[in-house]
Amino acid sequence: MTDSRLAIVVLAAGQGTRMKSSTPKLLHQLAGLPILSHVLATSRALDAAHVVTVVRHERDLVAALVAEDLPESLIVDQDEIPGTGRAVELAVAALPEDFEGDVLVVSGDVPLLNSATLASFVAAHREREVSATVLSSFPEDSTGYGRIVRSDAGGFDRIVEQKDASAEERQIAETNAGVYAFSVAELREQLARLTTDNVQGEKYLTDVIGLLRDAGSSVRAVPVADAWLVAGINDRAQLSETARQLNGFIVHGWQLAGVTVQDPATTWIDLKAQLAPDVTILPGTQIRGATVIETGAVIGPDTTLVDCEVGENAVVKRTDATLAVIGAGASVGPFSYLRPGTILGADGKIGAFVETKNATIGAGSKVPHLSYVGDATVGEQSNIGAGTIFANYDGVDKHRSEIGSHVRTGSHNVFVAPIRIGDGAYTGAGTIVRKDVPAGALSLSVAPQRNMEGWVETHRPGTDAAVAAAKSGD
């Protein structure tokens, strides 16, 4: 049910300077989704009466993501005044004037925080009837975080940013997680008092806490259960560390759901992937995007699947596949490259050193060795000989090849598209098929073989080859 007394502010306007990236920080990927998407999903789950997302850096890209993931969010543009305090000031100004209740502020770059933790944080804030509650944390490395300064009596006094902190304050282990609950009236009042009088020349949201304390209001810091929940991503080292942490949870979740993951450390599974019980994942495997894997399938080692479907009991070994559908009982790899539009039927085979693209290969059909299959349809129970090239490109346009069912093609064929090979047809080794082959025909295009007897004796006399030939009984 919608919480009519809750408004959420998502901070997403910062530049993310420390990423040193042309991609906005919040659009970097984490388990297959932009960092900000994780925060938007968590915010959505809280079902607040109002959500406001503040944007500025690369605002169109960030706003487009917000519109897609959390369409109920208002989007507010931050102006040239920098800082989290300014961002919240503008967000709060966008709330209805008669809104009474609590404002939950979350950072777009703190993606692992879940909605259960946030819900109990808001509940704790409301129970104590304080003006503000800050989520705090005791991370292993507090570098970069604001520190929670407590009075001698242990009460919460203020937050000091790392860059403004004294050497002594930097020793404080308790840090600001960047998540706050405020009662809106007092927040409004103190935001108006913020200045940019600090090392970074920004309006710090954290200064609101000190101002509230000065005004005699009560504030609390509540430590989060686990520091990883509030890990912030500021640079690429933190990005990979957070990704590893999240991946660990995802893999563990699938293990508990009945998936065998032999080596969690080298297995990466995106959040949107779906795996059935009794799937086996071997080391060095990435299951990316919205990949779906049915029961009994064995994936890996060293396989990357992006937005693929893999049927029951299929085996996919040392393969790179994107937007491919692999049928039940089919076999792929080792060393196969399945490009978008590959559809392999049940019990089919795409073998070693085979590349496919826009290719439908029917049930039971096999492309076992060293081939390229592009823009093609192969019927059922056909076999494509080793080293076959579907020549789909005439230099200007792409054309399709259609191979029927129960076809047997020889090794080292070239199918010059557009062509059709009828059901049950055969082709000889080395055939270059330029014209359609009727059902049941044998197609040959090679010149008849000619053996010039004694050629080595006359043209290469005295060579090892000539000696060997002379010794041979043949």
Which residues carry out catalysis? 369
Of all residues in the shown chain, the one whose CB is closest to ligand UD1 is 146
CB of 205 vs ligand UD1, minimal distance in Å: 5
Pairing of strands 132-137, 175-183: antiparallel
Nearer residue to Ca ion within complex by CB, 16 or 289: 16
Q: Which does 33 bind (CB under 5 to 8 A by kind): Ca ion, ligand UD1, none?
A: none
Nearer residue to Ca ion within complex by CB, 19 or 323: 19
**Closest to 26 measured CA to CA, from 87, 101, 117, 102:** 87
> Interface with ligand UD1 by CB under 6 A: which residues?
11-14, 54, 78, 82-84, 86-87, 107-110, 145-146, 159, 161, 175-178, 204-206, 232, 234
Q: Tell me the number of residues near Ca ion by CB under 5 A.
A: 3
Nearer residue to ligand UD1 within complex by CB, 225 or 446: 225
Q: What is the dihedral of CA 331, 335, 339, 341, to 10 degrees?
A: -10
Nearer residue to ligand UD1 within complex by CB, 149 or 346: 149
Instruction: Mark residues 101-120: x for contact with Ca ion by CB under 5 A, - for none.
Output: --------x-----------
438-457 per-residue burial string, b: 16 or more CB within 10 A, e: under 16: eeeeebeeeeeeeeeeeebe
**Closest to 352 measured CA to CA, from 328, 331, 372, 368:** 368
Nearer residue to Ca ion within complex by CB, 25 or 357: 25
Q: How many residues does the chain have?
A: 474
| Cis peptide bond upstream of 340, omega within 30 | no
Q: Which does 361 bind (CB under 5 to 8 A by kind): Ca ion, ligand UD1, none?
A: none
CB of 151 vs ligand UD1, minimal distance in Å: 18
What whole-number distance in Å separates Cα of residue 306 and Cα of residue 299? 13
Spell out the alpha helix ranges (H) of 129-220. 167-170, 184-191, 207-214
Q: Which residue in the set 24, 146, 232, 364 belongs to the binding site for Ca ion (CB under 5 A)?
A: 232
What whole-number distance in Å separates Cα of residue 343 and Cα of residue 164? 59
CB of 142 vs ligand UD1, minimal distance in Å: 9
Half-sphere exposure of 327 (CA within 13 A, CB side): 18
Q: Which does 82 bind (CB under 5 to 8 A by kind): Ca ion, ligand UD1, none?
A: ligand UD1
Footprint on this chain of Ca ion (rule: CB under 5 A): 109, 232, 234
